[in-house]
Copies of this chain bind each other. A is one copy, B any other.
Amino acid sequence: MFTTTPDINSERLLKDLNRLAQIGAGADRAIHRIAGNDADMAARDWIDKTMRVSGLHSYYDAVDNVFSRRLDTSGPWLLIGSHSDTVPAAGHLDGAYGVVAAMEVLRTLHEHDHPIADHVETVAWFDEEGVMEGSKGGLTGSTAFTRDPHADDLFAYIELHVEQGPRMERDGLDLAPVTGIVGVRRYDVAVRGQANHAGTTPFELRQDAGRVAARVATELRRICQDIDPASVGNAGVISFDPAAANVVPGAARVELEVRAGTDQALDRIEQSLSDFLLLAADEEECAAELNRTSAKPAAVFDKRVYGVVEEVCRERTDRCEPLLSYAGHDASVISTRLPTAMLFVPSTGGFSHSNREHTSDEHLILGTQALLDAVIRTGETLLPGLLTKHLTTV
């Protein structure tokens, strides 16, 4: 190491998180910054103004992503940040934490006139959540950015985020370098049988579409676990038709999703799910279809950037283990364009998309400091000549 590591301003970090949490807050501090609504645009305005301190500047791109960096620098830059929009009735950390932490890291490096400061850009992505009317599943700002020529000026992307799940707390972890982001496939299971009198029709003469649907919802867990213990699945919606206690369901639907760390695992789970569905339908004399309604590919993060993130996390705490992200993030899209990695801090109780979302101040500070560490180390690792030159010329 040939550069020093300044400490972040913890007080300012927590104050700014609190300030942003007030924009769009409704009853019980639940936050409503749906992408593009007044609160979301007010939050972007606050980020923009906050980052226009002496020596820094800020700007919107064509799709309302907000960027900030030092004035009069020419890159290449390391991009850090997250999204500032939320789901309805959200918590104050999902996205916002990564944005405010990135703002804090840039300002700390800038104030200490650290040589990497000229090579850091922060971002607050637009519409990660996909709740905005007309959104095509979210990740709107980051997806647009992958086609923006400005991406050529960047050499890596690091995103800090709350875990949004209970794994870290369960395992007593302070920090988790993230190896990648699960791919997500959604399915609509449609079963057709024959509605019939639930009393007079013997079991063996039924074509019970509801039973096929219930069997699929029951077996999904086993199907996932048999193929990949790290995969998860969920049967979230189910309905029978006609819906009457005394009528054998003539049709049934299940909406389900599957998440796994590689596309190969997703392929195998899909095949196993399809095999089970057809077997169950056959046994119940029904017809069934497994319709894939959406598919987000799995993201496996860049080895070098991930390696740096893991290294700095382990230097800050022994309570640190690699994790796969089971939630989608802008980093997933950006990883198709730039060397990318992420790091997580724990979510108390695993709650997210809820006003019960919480992370201790200690972990919020630790995560931001680790992000700053990772920014310096990534610069040293990916651009050693640039920073050396900088050190010698400053």
Contacts and interface: CB of A to CB of B under 8 A. Distances in A.
Interface string A169-194: 01000000000001010100000000
A235 B210 contact: yes
28 contacts: A164-B197, A165-B201, A166-B201, A170-B205, A184-B199, A186-B245, A196-B350, A197-B327, A197-B350, A198-B233, A199-B232, A203-B224, A205-B350, A210-B217, A211-B217, A211-B235, A213-B214, A214-B215, A218-B218, A234-B248, A235-B249, A236-B244, A236-B246, A236-B247, A236-B248, A238-B239, A238-B240, A239-B239
B221 A211 contact: yes
Interface residues of A, number: 54
A200 interface: yes
A214 B235 contact: yes
A232 B182 contact: no
A353 interface: yes
A248 to B, nearest CB: 6
B236 A200 contact: no
A243 B234 contact: no
A145 interface: no
A198 B184 CA distance: 11
A121 to B, nearest CB: 28
Contacts of A247: 234, 236
Given A184-B199, A327-B199, A236 B232 contact: no
Interface stretch (A60-68, A73-81, A253-261): A253-261
Contact of A246 (B163, B217, B224, B257): B257
A21 to B, nearest CB: 20
A232 B197 CA distance: 11
A373 to B, nearest CB: 25
A1 interface: no
A171 to B, nearest CB: 11
A196 B233 CA distance: 13
A326 interface: yes
B198 A232 contact: yes
Interface of A: 163-167, 170, 182, 184, 186, 196-203, 205, 210-211, 213-215, 217-218, 221, 224-225, 232-240, 243-249, 255-257, 259, 326-328, 350, 352-353
Contacts of A259: 198-199
A209 to B, nearest CB: 11
Nearest to A214: B217
Contacts of A213: 214, 238
Nearest to A254: B214
Contacts of A232: 198-199, 201-203
A209 B348 CA distance: 22
A239 B236 CA distance: 10
Nearest to A255: B245
9 shortest A-B CB distances, which residue pairs? Answer: A165-B200, A198-B234, A199-B326, A214-B217, A236-B245, A237-B243, A245-B255, A214-B218, A214-B214
A232 to B, nearest CB: 6
A197 B238 CA distance: 17
A205 B347 CA distance: 14
A219 to B, nearest CB: 9
